Amino acid sequence: MPIVTGATRTRFAPAPTGRLHLGHVANALWTWGFARAAGASVLLRIEDHDRQRSHATFDRAILDDLDWLGFIADAGPVRQSDPDAQAAYAAASRKLADQALVYGCDCSRATFARWHTTHGATWSGPGCPGGCRERGVAGPVLRVALGAGVEGWIDELLGMRSGPVASGGDLPIRDRHGNWTYGFCVTVDDQRQGVDLVVRGQDLLEATPVQIRLGRVLGRAVPATFAHHPLIRRADGSKLSKSDGDTGIEALRAAGLTREAVLARAADATGYRGERPSSGAGPDRSSISHA
Ligand code: GLU
């Protein structure tokens, strides 16, 4: 476990669109592990930006599972639906609009697919395949023009990394249902909440360059430090999802597994060897909470 000197705050940021599964437990182990090693605090941030897919029952179940697992956050829970969060997204959007970077877009999946068929290649940005910025479209989607090129960072677990900012197009900041989007919300939140260490799975690697660029455009002088950890995969190599009953914490609890057994299973599957006692049991409650 690398020690990130100078880190003061990280976050655990589940979306209440389902219950926790082993992948989340793996992420929590890495997050609390990094935080404890650095002497940083953990903020619990419920990422309920998608109002259609987020549900209060999942929100409650996540808190209950975290409590059962023994992951105690130092701050939070805070939610992206909180009025102060919504005001912060609106203010950040205005800041981007003041720089003439925000534009409406009416491209759908079909627009991207048509491009692919016509050109025999996947469309890549910046911009959008419909040329909406030039056409002066009202919406329903809002995108931010962050330019081309790449952003690089030194990942605490992967070393030097870089990636394109707009391979899939300019970042949508508001979706067609009127929700502020994931990439926009986390960038605004990480900045305003003082998160200087982001610990997350490698499935989010592609999101990092655009979040670094957007943060800079929004005035963040120094990006957070990033650590992208291995994912837990199914036997066929695919990602776990919230619909995987066999790895859902609810099912594992119902099957009578102990907290230690669940933690050990997640730790083994993600290659986390942090402070796991040699007995094979998971860390005890005091060792994974950051007091
Ligand atoms: N809310 C995201 C998820 O549940 C994680 C966000 C992040 O770590 O940037 O996958």
Distance 279 CA to ligand 1 centre (A): 32
Distance 199 CA to ligand 1 centre (A): 10
Residue nearest to atom 3 of ligand 1 (CA): 14
Residue 233: predicted pLDDT: 81
User: Which residues in the chain come in under a pLDDT of 50?
Assistant: 276-291
Angle at 269 between CA 267 and CA 270, to 5 degrees: 70
Q: Model confidence over 207-219: pLDDT tens digits?
A: 999 999 999 999 9
Torsion angles phi and psi, residue 250, rounded to 5: -60, -45
Distance 114 CA to ligand 1 centre (A): 30
89, 184 contact by CB (below 8 A): yes
Task: Label residue 139 left, alpha or beta by phi (over 0 means left) and psi (-120 to 50 means alpha).
Answer: left
Measuring from each residue's beta carbon to the nearest atom of ligand 1, which residues come in under 6 Å? 13-15, 47, 186, 200, 204
Residue 246: predicted pLDDT: 65
CA-nearest of 225, 220, 222 to 192 is: 220
Q: Model confidence over 251-276: pLDDT tens digits?
A: 999 999 999 999 999 999 999 875 54
Residue 277: predicted pLDDT: 43
Structure tokens at 78: 């805070």
Distance 171 CA to ligand 1 centre (A): 16
Residue 273: predicted pLDDT: 72
DSSP state of 180: B
Residue nearest to atom 10 of ligand 1 (CA): 14
Residue 285: predicted pLDDT: 38
Give, in order, the Cα–Cα distances in Å from 94 to each of 89, 218, 222: 9, 10, 22
Residue 235: predicted pLDDT: 74
Q: Model confidence over 170-199: pLDDT tens digits?
A: 999 999 999 999 999 999 999 999 999 999
Helix or strand (DSSP H, E) at 267: helix 259-270
249/256 Cα distance (integer angstroms): 11
